């Protein structure tokens, strides 16, 4: 029998050696886990009164509580175990499984409508019942999420690691079956591993606030395992692309994974959008605030450049995105659907990344600066992955080439806007000082008291707002201090 095609693209599933060898290794690992679990339970019995069924921290008041479970708008909590029951799960695993389905699955749905979210949850649980490897994957997602936001009881770390390795073990066994098929359930399990990454000890800060803000921080903090990502993309390509997947929400997850990875290295996405973007973008444009005659004026020169009109259209849509997000923050009860807002954000990222570079240097500068700006225009991301390093480096090379061609004299405002964008994302990288040195060419005097002028200049391009504006101001102030020390006779006009 010919080897299964999947085996060549799923190296993350295979342990070194023959199947008999990894079975022996897996048996040893299980023995170690069992011994650790027994020792842990014995230690708890020694430390705790018999009346306490579960270990609790010595001082509950000093630890942040995990986020509350998400409830449906109707007031009734979705409970998949009212209809489905996953056998052979411990009470802790049942809790983590249910937590993931309730708290996290809405952010994976393409629609924020209640009926669509409930259908997505139900389909997921149905697949979990049919495909055993999906159960520990979902359970790992729930335990990883709650661990991130403060669920740090003494057994949480052990269970989380166990769920992760159990998912790998069961996926491996499923893929080694002679009649193995790359099903939607298998792709979903690999996607979960890709999104959540290997277990780590990073802890979040957003302990209060909207569910969307917690989701944004959690998923923005994850560092992906490259082998999971490559396996996922290879298998989806074998299936024929995103439009061949049986679940739209699964296709949306893979699309998002593809876009986020593309952003980290500034490459074109591997897959085209599997749905028409026009309805989402048309709805977004209606959110644009009136009387914005000065908006995006700094980019008007693009109309006469190759591909410039396409880029300018994207930039105007990004400006509408900023207006819509501003409305959401100032008026949470507005009619703007946050899920659709995020969808529009991803569409614009996909469109900008898909736009090819040209021979025009200033066009290339604006394209990369807009890509970089767009990533953190809603909320800044933790500096954990490759995006900040690669993005600041790519933009640095373009600004440096523009500097050599005297663009600080011919296009000073565009250069300053791009430099501030680059300076913001260069935080915690070795390029921060390079961007500060570029401020020597600023058309605005480099003094902290002139920050409002920088904000006014940015309004003619893409404005700095909210926490992004705070980060840009921090870069400006830091640069002004540095340049004042480095050159006390710096020009003042």
CA dist 465 and 142 (Å) reads: 33
Which of 19-28, 54-63, 334-343, 407-416 is least confident? 54-63
CA dist 9 and 415 (Å) reads: 44
Q: What is the dihedral of CA 445, 448, 453, 456, to 10 degrees?
A: 140
Q: What angle do CA 340, 229, 113 make, to 5 degrees?
A: 20
Residue 306 lies in a domain: yes
Read off the pLDDT of residues 304-354 as tens digits, 9 standing for 90 and up. Answer: 999 999 999 999 999 999 999 999 888 877 888 888 888 999 999 999 999
CA dist 434 and 429 (Å) reads: 10
Instruction: Please compute the mean of the pLDDT values over residues 177-196 and round it to a whole number.
Output: 92
Residue-level pLDDT at 290: 81
Domain housing 190: 91-203+224-230
Find out whether 133 and 189 touch, Cβ atoms under 8 Å.
yes
Whether residue 245 has pLDDT greater than 70:
yes
Assigned token pair, 100: 């993931």
Residue 305 lies in a domain: yes
Residue 281 lies in a domain: yes
Residue 76 lies in a domain: no
Find out whether 371 and 352 touch, Cβ atoms under 8 Å.
yes
- What contacts 491, CB < 8 A, 6 or more positions away? 445
Residue-level pLDDT at 59: 35
Helices (H) and strands (E) in the chain, counts: 20, 0
In the chain, the number of structural domains is 2
Whether residue 285 has pLDDT greater than 90:
yes
Which of 46-55, 88-97, 131-140 is least confident? 46-55
Read off the pLDDT of residues 26-49 as tens digits, 9 standing for 90 and up. Answer: 554 454 444 444 444 444 433 333
Residue-level pLDDT at 205: 61
Residue 342 lies in a domain: yes
Query: pTM here?
Result: 0.80
Residue 40 lies in a domain: no
Residues 394 and 296 placed together within one structural domain of the fold:
yes
- What contacts 81, CB < 8 A, 6 or more positions away? 94, 98
Residues 313 and 404 placed together within one structural domain of the fold:
yes
Residue-level pLDDT at 395: 98
Residue 43 lies in a domain: no
Residues 289 and 144 placed together within one structural domain of the fold:
no
Higher pLDDT among residues 204 and 193, named by residue:
193
Read off the pLDDT of residues 351-394 as tens digits, 9 standing for 90 and up. Answer: 999 999 989 999 999 999 999 999 999 888 877 778 999 999 99
Residues 194 and 336 placed together within one structural domain of the fold:
no
Whether residue 19 has pLDDT greater than 90:
no
CA dist 169 and 16 (Å) reads: 13
Residue 287 lies in a domain: yes
Distances in whole angstroms, Cα of residue 389 to Cα of each of 198, 394, 410, 432: 21, 9, 28, 10
Sign of CA dihedral 140, 145, 146, 147: positive
- What contacts 480, CB < 8 A, 6 or more positions away? 439, 446, 447, 448
Read off the pLDDT of residues 64-93 as tens digits, 9 standing for 90 and up. Answer: 333 333 333 333 344 444 444 566 788 888
- What contacts 489, CB < 8 A, 6 or more positions away? none
Which of 10-14, 48-52, 375-379, 478-482 is least confident? 48-52
Residue-level pLDDT at 76: 38
């Amino acid at each position: 029998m010919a080897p299964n095609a999947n085996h060549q693209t799923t190296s993350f599933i295979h342990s070194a050696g023959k199947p008999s060898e990894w079975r022996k290794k897996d048996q040893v690992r299980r023995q170690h886990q069992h011994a650790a679990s027994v020792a842990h339970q014995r230690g708890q019995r020694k430390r705790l009164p018999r009346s306490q069924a579960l270990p609790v921290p010595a001082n509950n008041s000093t630890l942040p509580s995990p986020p509350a479970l998400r409830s449906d708008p109707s007031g009734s909590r979705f409970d998949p175990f009212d209809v489905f029951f996953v056998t052979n799960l411990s009470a802790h695993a049942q809790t983590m499984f249910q937590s993931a389905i309730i708290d996290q699955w809405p952010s994976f749905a393409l629609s924020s409508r209640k009926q669509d979210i409930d259908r997505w949850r139900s389909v997921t649980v149905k697949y979990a019942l049919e495909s055993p490897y999906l159960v520990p994957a979902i359970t790992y997602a729930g335990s990883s999420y709650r661990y991130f936001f403060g669920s740090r009881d003494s057994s949480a770390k052990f269970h989380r690691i166990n769920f992760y390795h159990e998912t790998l073990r069961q996926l491996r066994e499923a893929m080694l079956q002679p009649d193995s098929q790359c099903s939607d359930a298998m792709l979903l399990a690999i996607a979960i591993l890709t999104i959540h990454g290997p277990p780590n000890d990073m802890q979040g800060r957003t302990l209060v606030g909207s569910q969307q803000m917690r989701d944004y921080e959690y998923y923005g903090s994850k560092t992906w395992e490259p082998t999971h990502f490559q396996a996922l993309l290879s298998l989806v390509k074998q299936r024929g692309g995103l439009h061949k997947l049986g679940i739209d929400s699964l296709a949306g997850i893979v699309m998002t994974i593809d876009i986020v990875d593309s952003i980290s290295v500034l490459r074109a996405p591997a897959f085209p959008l599997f749905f028409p973007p026009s309805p989402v973008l048309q709805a977004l444009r209606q959110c644009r605030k009136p009387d914005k005659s000065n908006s995006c004026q700094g980019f008007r020169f693009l109309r006469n450049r190759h591909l410039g009109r396409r880029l300018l259209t994207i930039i105007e849509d990004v400006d509408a995105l900023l207006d819509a997000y501003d409305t959401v923050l100032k008026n949470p009860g507005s009619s703007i659907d946050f899920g659709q807002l995020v969808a529009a954000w991803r569409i614009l990222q996909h469109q900008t990344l898909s736009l090819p570079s040209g021979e025009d240097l200033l066009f290339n500068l604006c394209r990369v600066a807009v890509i970089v700006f767009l990533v953190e225009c809603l909320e800044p991301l933790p500096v954990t992955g490759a995006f900040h390093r690669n993005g600041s480096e790519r933009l640095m090379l373009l600004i440096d080439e523009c500097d050599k061609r005297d663009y600080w004299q011919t296009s000073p405002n565009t250069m300053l806007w791009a430099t501030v964008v680059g300076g913001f994302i260069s935080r915690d990288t070795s390029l921060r000082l390079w961007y500060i040195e570029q401020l020597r060419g600023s058309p605005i005097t480099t003094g902290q008291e002139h920050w409002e002028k920088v904000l006014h200049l940015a309004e003619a391009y893409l404005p700095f707002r909210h926490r992004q504006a705070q980060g840009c101001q921090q870069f400006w102030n830091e640069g002004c201090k540095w340049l004042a020390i480095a050159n006390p006779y710096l020009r003042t006009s």
